[in-house]
Amino acid sequence: MTNAAADSAQRPLRVAIIGAGPAGVYAADILTKADRDFEVSIDLFDQYPAPYGLIRYGVAPDHPRIKGIVNALHKVLDRGDIRFLGNVNYGRDLTLADFRHFYDAIIFATGAIKDAPLNVPGVELEGSFGGAEFVSWYDGHPDVPRDWPLDAKEVAVIGNGNVALDVARILSKHADDLLTTEIPSNVYAGLKKSPVTDVHIFGRRGPAQVKFTPLELRELSHSRDVDIVLYPEDFEFDEGSDEQIRTNNQTKTMVNTLTNWLVEEQDTGACRRLHLHFLHNPVEIYDDAANPGKVAGMKFERTELDGTGNVRGTGEIVDYPVQAVYRAIGYFGSELPEVGYDEQRGVIPNEGGRVINEDGAPVPGIYTTGWIKRGPVGLIGHTKGDALETIGFLLEDRLNLPAATHPDPSSIIELLEERGVKYTTWEGWLKLDAYERSLGASYIHPDPLTGELVRERVKVVDREEMTRISRGE
């Protein structure tokens, strides 16, 4: 063992985790609870002034899972053994070389926030949007515009995952029914003016191949004054579908729900309709002479199941007049400065969480976890498993990590202040959290469903305002 390694073995292991969403928090929690005979010192960084990442900026505000997940993450960070440093942008405020000076190991948990591409003609037309961009808007992301063009009466949402259902539900739901959530004021005002009457969700495969969960599906039926419309010709099942239904309880539940809706479907005269289409493959988004350059409709090729649960084209083209298209076919990870990037998968190249270089060799002291490690698939349980694997390898490598030259926890704070970075802390988040809750408490309105006056919080959107409140300025 070298003198540097011997020194690092005697002091606390200094670890920086970049990304304070579920992946980063779980990694920090697992590391603090790991069976070890040495101390750890963890700093959790995020580019936003507030923690929680995609839970705060990527999940619909009316989603019932939000509160439970946020409460769990809050308990981890509120213990005091993990230091949160928000409003710090990796690659701008701090470089990889900076992190190397202050930490023995760096874990990237930056997630995936971009839209996966949809490669069809017309995707560039005005009125064609990324679903992830829309989610960021309605969740009050500090770095997106405050206004959103909600002028379409008929809308297409492409995708059969949870994000597609969230996007379609928010588009079709009455704005007043979202007032019990933390929806920002500018988002409420935008949705309130929306003239939408019909939202169409399109999936390429059949009802047994959908990627959303039973919970997400059931939430669709909870929207007031919104009819769900299904089509008998879309309900096709092959041998692969039958096998999936027999062996997967989640698939069985969703297929039963959908077929029951189909059989029981009634036109209640609701002023908005949410249409579920299956066996539709996107072909083209088009404009017309009346509105050149703007979305006027979308064409699909009807597909059919091939016996394995996959589909093939039938050659039949169907056309839907819509004035807006939302692409919700998945998220995609972003490239990070000074770190390798797989352009095909949108991830940091790694083996089990150990970041690797172009030759496939591990980069000492650099790790990754979450969606930027494995791609944007799986739920919270998968994120925990990811973190467990990554932390296992980090602990295994501990005695061979490149030792930090400035391991004192105060050193990184001194550098941030020297560079004028207005970083936020956990104590600052508690101030912002209390402020948002006070806004909610002062926002008195009748709940359209219960008649009660309920508003848990109103989310602050502006980054500078979030930072000022957090820092007590």
The string of pLDDT tens digits covering residues 102-120 is 999 999 999 988 888 899 9
Q: Is pLDDT of 380 > 80?
A: no
- Is the pLDDT at 8 greater than 60? The verdict is no
Q: Is the pTM of the predicted complex or chain greater than 0.95?
A: no
In this prediction, residue 1 has a pLDDT band, given cuts at 50, 70 and 90, of very low
Cα torsion angle, 12, 13, 16, 17, sign: negative
Give the pLDDT confidence of 283-314 residue by residue, as tens digits.
Answer: 999 999 888 999 999 999 999 999 998 999 99
pLDDT at residue number 215? 84
Give mean pLDDT, residues 144-167: 95
The reported pLDDT for the residue numbered 179 is 86
Once rounded to an integer, what is the mean pLDDT over residues 220-249? Answer: 92
pLDDT of 63: 81
What pLDDT, on the 0 to 100 scale, is given for residue 450? 61
Share of the chain above pLDDT 90, in %: 77
Residue indicated by tokens 């000022």: 468
The yes-or-no verdict on residue 337 having pLDDT over 90 is yes
**Residues 416, 93 contacting (CB under 8 angstroms):** yes
User: Of 88, 60, 66, 75, which is closest to residue 26 (Cα–Cα)?
Assistant: 75
CB 205 within 8 A of CB 279: yes
368-392 b/e with 16+ CB inside 10 Å = b? bbbbbbbbbeeeeeebbebbebbbe
Q: Residues within the annotated binding site for FAD? A: 23, 54, 371, 378-380
pLDDT in tens, 20-46: 999 999 999 999 999 899 999 999 999
Q: Are 114 and 372 in contact (CB under 8 A)?
A: no
Q: Which residues are annotated as a binding site?
A: 23, 54, 160-163, 204-205, 216, 371, 378-380
pLDDT of residue 214: 86
Q: Which residues are annotated as a binding site for NADP(+)?
A: 160-163, 204-205, 216, 378
Average pLDDT value for residue range 424-451: 84
CB 348 within 8 A of CB 23: no
Give the other-Cβ count within 10 Å of 91's Cβ.
14
Across all residues in the chain, what is the average pLDDT? 92
The structural domains of the chain, ordered by start, are 4-113+333-421 (3.40.50.720), 117-329 (3.50.50.60)
The three-state DSSP-derived secondary structure of the chain is CCHHHHHHHHCCEEEEEECCCHHHHHHHHHHHHCCCCCCEEEEEECCCCCCCCHHHHCCCCCCCHHHHHHHHHHHHHCCCCEEEEECCCECCCECHHHHHHHCCEEEECCCCCEECCCCCCCCCCECEEEHHHHHHHHCCCCCCCCCCCCCCCEEEEECCCHHHHHHHHHHHCCHHHHCCCCCCHHHHHHHHCCCCCEEEEECCCCHHHCCCCHHHHHHHCCCCCEEEECCHHHCCCCHHHHHHHHHCHHHHHHHHHHHHHHHHCCCCCCCEEEEEECCEEEEEEECECCECCECCEEEEEEEEECCCCCEEEEEEEEEECCCEEEECCCEECCCCCCCCCECCCCECCEECCEEECCCCCEEEEEEECCHHHHCCCCCHHHHHHHHHHHHHHHHHHHHHCCCCCCCCHHHHHHHHHHCCCCCECHHHHHHHHHHHHHHHHHCCCCCCCCCCCCCCCCCCCCHHHHHHHHHCC
Residue 448 has pLDDT above 60, yes or no: no
